[in-house]
Structure 1
Amino acid sequence: MQVSTAVATPSPRSTRARDKLMHTAERLYAEHGFANVSIRMISEAAGQRNKSAVQYHFSTRDELIQAILARHAAAIDEHRIPMVAALEASGEVSLRRWITCILTPHIEHHIELGTPSWYGRFLAQAVVEPSLREHATQASMRTPSFQRLEKLWPPRQDRDPDLSAQYRAMIRLLVVHMCAELEGDLASGLVAVADAEQSWRRLGEHLITAVCGLSTALLEISEP
């Protein structure tokens, strides 16, 4: 007797429930922090009668968080792929263009999310959570577009591995927390929703300039 190994396709109802749980968890974690949100709270806020709905769809809290991170990473990758392709085709890679390909997709994704959004503040929680930090940092770095980008012109890391690690951490914290701050200001009304896109693009330009400065100062990367 032959046993089928096909994986069942989730039903539309199951997919909707999973999406609702992810969206609700992202919002609650962003607003209250990981330590103050229980699995049961997420199920209740998502309107699930089954209090074990999160465990059914994701098994554990960390698996739920990783699924949220992976979804955003995939969306950011869609923005970066054409930028990397254009950079590859140009045959001319400068420091600012390379860093622009790293950062601009994040900014475009924030704009695409609209206001209110919670991803920025959610990610800010994840990058400082010891059990999630590595996954949070690797979620985007493992995407196809980022791996292609690293091959074009990676920063010099052969001289001082500790410095290289600190450099990456500085960039990560700068970008993540500045995005979280703007997202929070938009949500609270400190920045007008009508100015959201302009504010995100201005932040993006400032972050690109700041990271160029860090690259030049710390790793002695300059324009080729």
Structure 2
Amino acid sequence: MNVSTAVPAPSSRSSPRSLRARDKLMRTAERLYAEHGFAGVSMRMIREAAGQRNNSAVQYHFSSRDELIVAILEQHAAAVERHRSRLVAVLEERGGASPREWIACVVEPGIEHHVELGTPSWYGRFLAQAVVDPGLREHARRAYTCTPSFQRLDRLHPVAGAGRDAELTERHAAMIRLLLVHMCADLETELAAGEATPDEAERAWRRLGDNLVTAVLGLSSALLPG
């Protein structure tokens, strides 16, 4: 499968039962992939863990493993997009952003999504595997950076147009992606293994968000004026 091709959305004519089964398969697959890795999980394991008796249940909803993984990525990306759209709208109304505000708009939507997911969650560890998988890495990147809100945010970048070195910008973006993804996966693992209350988990995510904004601001200094 060419994972750069968008995964078809479930048909609007799908029955509620079919949609519930599809969603359960996605949530089960995400958990198993997060815990055991992509190579360690078969379609049969997903079907059995999701309580589906039909041997072809996974294949009925997803033509391949990669299509299933892409569907999970895009579901989470849509949730992050909703958060970022609101933040970008505020910056657009003001007509610009400081470097820290711009970076916060990159970091905070993902943090808010993690808070929404609650504890335990598996998305962080799932995404950490996708961004280093050769067949999925580019799709994972595009799912998050080729969105309307991210493109609008890019137009508000404190270093605009000709003032940005394209090669350095891409290298810098790759470092930031890995930092954000793997630090979130690390905290998710820590929270899943502990006994944090919902309030404690939320505070931990927000502390990480603040720390990541500060860290990315430091990494960004080579691209910012003066």
Which is higher, the Rg of structure 1 or of structure 2? 1
Give me the CA root mean square deviation.
1.8
* Alpha carbons of structure 1 residues 83 and 47: separation in structure 2 relative to 1, 3 Å: same
How big is the shift at 1:47? 0.6
1:187 counterpart = 2:188: no
Per mean C-alpha deviation after superposition, the further-off stretch among 147-156 and 133-142 is: 147-156
Q: Deviations over 1:112-132 (max 9, x none)?
A: 000000000000010000000
1:4 alignment counterpart: none
TM-score by length of 2: 0.89
Q: Percent identity?
A: 65
2:202 alignment counterpart: 197
1:156, 1:84 → 2: CA distance?
16
1:38, 1:73 → 2: CA distance?
24
Helix, strand or coil at the partner of 2:39: helix
Residue identity matched to 2:78: A
Q: Deviations over 1:32-67 (max 9, x none)?
A: 000100111111111111122111101011000000
Residue identity matched to 1:141: T
Helix, strand or coil at the partner of 1:116: coil
Contact 2:28 2:49 (8 Å CA) reproduced: yes
1:216, 1:138 → 2: CA distance?
25
Helix, strand or coil at the partner of 1:128: coil
Residue identity matched to 1:85: A
Match of 2:122 among 108, 118, 121: 118
1:168 counterpart = 2:173: yes
How big is the shift at 1:222? 3.8
Helix, strand or coil at the partner of 1:59: coil
TM-score by length of 1: 0.90
1:130 counterpart = 2:134: yes
Match of 2:150 among 142, 146, 149: 146
* Alpha carbons of structure 1 residues 81 and 161: separation in structure 2 relative to 1, 3 Å: closer
2:24 alignment counterpart: 20
Contact 1:185 1:191 (8 Å CA) reproduced: no
Contact 2:96 2:156 (8 Å CA) reproduced: no
Q: Which runs of 5+ in 2 are unaligned?
A: 1-10
Q: Which runs of 5+ in 1 are unaligned?
A: 1-6
Contact 1:33 1:125 (8 Å CA) reproduced: yes
* Alpha carbons of structure 1 residues 157 and 128: separation in structure 2 relative to 1, 3 Å: farther
Q: How many residues align?
A: 215
